[in-house]
Chains A and B, each alone.
Chain A
Amino acid sequence: MDAFLHQILSGLASGGIYGSLALALVMIFQATHLVNFAQGELAMCSTYLAWTLVRAGCPYWVAFVATLVISFLAGAAIERCVIRPVEDKPALAVVLVFIGLMLILNSVAGWIFGYTVKTFPSPFSDRSPFGNAFIAGHELGIMAVVAALVGLLYVFFRYTTLGLAMRAVAVNPESSRLVGIHVGRMLALGWGLSAAVGAVAGMMIAPVVFLDPNMMSGVLLYAFAAALLGGIDSPGGAVIGGLLVGVLENLLGAYVIGTELKLTVALLLIVGVLVVRPTGLFGKVVVTRV
Chain B
Amino acid sequence: MSDLLAVRSLFAGYGRGNVLSDVTLEVARGGVTVVLGANGAGKTTLLRAISGMIARRGAITLDGARIESMPSERIAQKGLAHVPDGRGTFAALTTEENLRLGAYTRPRSAELERDFERVYGFFPRLAERRRQQAGTLSGGEQQMLAIGRALMLRPKLLMLDEPSFGLAPLVIDEIFRILERIKAEQESSVLLVEQNATLALDLADRACLLETGCVVRSGPPDDLRRDDAIRRAYLGY
Chain A residues within CB distance 8 Å of chain B: 161, 164-165, 167-168, 171-172, 174-183, 284, 286-290
Report whether B84 and A161 are in contact in the complex, using a CB–CB cutoff of 8 Å.
no
B92 at interface by CB-CB < 8 Å: yes
Report whether B84 and A168 are in contact in the complex, using a CB–CB cutoff of 8 Å.
no
Give the residue of A172, A177, A284 whose beta carbon is less than 8 angstroms from that of B90.
A172
Q: Per-residue CB proximity of B73-90 to A under 8 Å, as 1/0?
A: 100110001101000111
List the B side residues contacting A287 at CB < 8 Å: 91, 133, 135-136
List the A side residues contacting B166 at CB < 8 Å: 290
**What are the 7 A-B residue pairs with the smallest beta carbon separation, nearest first?**
A180-B76, A175-B88, A177-B72, A180-B105, A288-B135, A171-B90, A171-B92
Report whether A289 and B133 are in contact in the complex, using a CB–CB cutoff of 8 Å.
no
List the A side residues contacting B42 at CB < 8 Å: none
B139 at interface by CB-CB < 8 Å: yes
Report whether A172 and B88 are in contact in the complex, using a CB–CB cutoff of 8 Å.
yes
| Contact flag A289-B135 (CB < 8 Å), given A179-B153, A180-B104 | yes
* Cα–Cα distance between A182 and B139 once the two chains are bound (Å): 28
Report whether A179 and B102 are in contact in the complex, using a CB–CB cutoff of 8 Å.
yes
Report whether B136 and A178 are in contact in the complex, using a CB–CB cutoff of 8 Å.
no
| Contact flag A179-B136 (CB < 8 Å), given A171-B91, A172-B88, A174-B84 | no
What residue in chain A is nearest B84 (Cβ atoms)?
Answer: A178
B101 at interface by CB-CB < 8 Å: yes
List the B side residues contacting A164 at CB < 8 Å: 93, 97, 100-101
B71 at interface by CB-CB < 8 Å: yes
Give the residue of B72, B91, B133, B139 whose beta carbon is less than 8 angstroms from that of A178.
B72
Report the interface size for chain B: residues with CB under 8 A from the other chain.
Answer: 34
Report whether A161 and B88 are in contact in the complex, using a CB–CB cutoff of 8 Å.
no
Report whether B142 and A179 are in contact in the complex, using a CB–CB cutoff of 8 Å.
no
Counting chain B CB atoms within 10 Å of each CB, the highest count among A164, A172, A177, A290 belongs to A177
Report whether A181 and B104 are in contact in the complex, using a CB–CB cutoff of 8 Å.
yes
| Contact flag A180-B77 (CB < 8 Å), given A164-B97, A164-B101, A172-B88 | yes
CB distance from A220 to the nearest CB of B (A): 27
CB distance from B146 to the nearest CB of A (A): 9
Q: Per-residue CB proximity of B102-120 to A under 8 Å, as 1/0?
A: 1011001000000000000
Q: Per-residue CB proximity of B55-81 to A under 8 Å, as 1/0?
A: 000000000000000011100110001
* Cα–Cα distance between A168 and B101 once the two chains are bound (Å): 8
Number of A-B contacts (CB under 8 A): 85
List the A side residues contacting B108 at CB < 8 Å: 161
B235 at interface by CB-CB < 8 Å: no
* Cα–Cα distance between A172 and B90 once the two chains are bound (Å): 6
List the A side residues contacting B72 at CB < 8 Å: 177-178
What residue in chain A is nearest B97 (Cβ atoms)?
Answer: A164
List the B side residues contacting A172 at CB < 8 Å: 88-91
* Cα–Cα distance between A43 and B236 once the two chains are bound (Å): 66
Within 8 A of A (CB), among B135-161: 135-139, 142, 149, 153
Report whether A178 and B51 are in contact in the complex, using a CB–CB cutoff of 8 Å.
yes
List the A side residues contacting B53 at CB < 8 Å: 174, 177-178
Give the residue of B73, B100, B137, B153 whose beta carbon is less than 8 angstroms from that of A177.
B73
Report whether B101 and A176 are in contact in the complex, using a CB–CB cutoff of 8 Å.
yes
What residue in chain A is nearest B135 (Cβ atoms)?
Answer: A288
List the A side residues contacting B82 at CB < 8 Å: 178
What residue in chain A is nearest B51 (Cβ atoms)?
Answer: A178
CB distance from A91 to the nearest CB of B (A): 21
CB distance from B132 to the nearest CB of A (A): 11
List the B side residues contacting A176 at CB < 8 Å: 101
* Cα–Cα distance between A16 and B89 once the two chains are bound (Å): 34
CB distance from B97 to the nearest CB of A (A): 6
* Cα–Cα distance between A43 and B90 once the two chains are bound (Å): 32
What residue in chain A is nearest B142 (Cβ atoms)?
Answer: A289
A–B Cβ pairs within 8 angstroms, 27 of them: A164-B97, A165-B104, A167-B93, A168-B93, A168-B101, A171-B90, A172-B89, A174-B84, A175-B84, A175-B88, A175-B90, A177-B53, A178-B81, A178-B88, A179-B81, A180-B73, A180-B76, A180-B77, A180-B104, A286-B92, A287-B133, A287-B136, A288-B135, A289-B136, A289-B137, A290-B139, A290-B166
* Cα–Cα distance between A284 and B92 once the two chains are bound (Å): 9
CB distance from A235 to the nearest CB of B (A): 12
List the A side residues contacting B88 at CB < 8 Å: 172, 174-175, 178
CB distance from B205 to the nearest CB of A (A): 25
Report whether B104 and A177 are in contact in the complex, using a CB–CB cutoff of 8 Å.
no
Report whether A179 and B76 are in contact in the complex, using a CB–CB cutoff of 8 Å.
yes
CB distance from B162 to the nearest CB of A (A): 14
What residue in chain B is nearest A288 (Cβ atoms)?
Answer: B135
CB distance from A265 to the nearest CB of B (A): 31
CB distance from A27 to the nearest CB of B (A): 15
List the A side residues contacting B104 at CB < 8 Å: 161, 165, 179-181
Give the residue of B71, B73, B91, B97 whose beta carbon is less than 8 angstroms from that of A286.
B91
